[in-house]
Amino acid sequence: MNYFKTGLLIAAMTALFMGVGALLGGQSGMLIALVVAIGMNAFSYWNSDKMVLRMHGAREVDQRSAPELHGMVADLARNADLPMPKVYIIDNPQPNAFATGRNPENAAVAATTGILQTLTREELAGVMAHELAHIRNRDTLIMTVTATFAGAISMLANFAMFFGGARNNNGIGILGTIAMMILAPLAAMLVQMAISRTREYAADRLGAMICGNPAWLASALQKIASGAKRVPNMAAERNPSTAHMFIINPLSGARADKLFATHPDTGNRIAALERLAQEMGQPWGSTSAAPGSAPAGPWG
């Protein structure tokens, strides 16, 4: 089913990209946009994950350089019946994390230094389990392809004013060009939002089951949401098309569960996790570790 959704998404984004090309250059512009879109589809499939990681300055770590984080991800990946993903750390004070990759065999999880310093071990396990859930649900390809296309559509729309639209070809004129500059990125953004908001709830549920305690993830979400409001993420501000990939919206001024929000409201997500805990027969509000495991405390 996710392969069908991915194909449908790529077709929709390609059509939007071609529409912008047609408005800019008529039929020839549409054909050029089609060729570019085909190239972007291929590039996005093979390289969009590397590009997103590079945008955010992520550095890969292994068992030697980050034994605790790497070991935690390995344990959770076994719980999720997934291949071991690559693990990255982003030198960024905002607490946040995301997953990327075209399939479970070529996946990566990335955590900021801010999240490592803010969360307890159990809370971080909940976050990493959430990101592994995205990988298991094959959301990561959809999210990275969307980020690539959204950024390209916004850039193409911004070029419209320089080229003056396609006045001679289709008579849209300056008003049509301005409208296209606004509506094309808006359409791409709405696709991003629809994908992110529906997939976050599913990843929360599966992630809570992977780590074994919904309260761990709920507590983490509350801390991350608070930290994201206080600490700016300049890399995300420079690359807003990647915002939907993070577990919590990294952009400043975000309003949750509104028309233009990339993520569901944190309170609604926590309420859903509380209902899941009741289904699992677990007491709500306890984020302490199981007996015999590492004690809770600041991860950093």
Query: Would you please indicate which residues are annotated as catalytic (active-site) residues?
Result: 131
Output DSSP code: residue 244: G
182's CB contacts (< 8 A; 6+ apart) are 157
Residue 136 identity (one-letter amino acid): R
Give the β-pairing of 86-90 and 107-112. parallel
CA distances for 241 relative to 48, 186, 204, 214, angstroms: 12, 11, 22, 29
| Residues 206, 128: Cα–Cα separation, whole Å | 11
**Counting beta carbons within 10 angstroms of the beta carbon of residue 120, is it exposed (0 to 12), middle (13 to 18) or buried (19 or more)?**
buried
Give, for 98, the enclosing helix (H) or strand (E).
strand 97-101
Quote the radius of gyration of the chain (alpha carbons, Å): 20
- Could you give the angle at which helices 173-211 and 2-55 cross, rounded to 10 degrees? 100
DSSP-derived pairing of the beta strands 97-101 and 58-61: unpaired
Say if residues 123 and 205 touch (Cβ distance below 8 Å): no
Quote the CA–CA distance of 44 and 47 in Å, as a whole number: 5
User: Residue type for 48, please?
Assistant: S
- The answer to whether 87 touches 142, Cβ cutoff 8 Å, is no
Output the six-digit token pair for 176: 């049509």
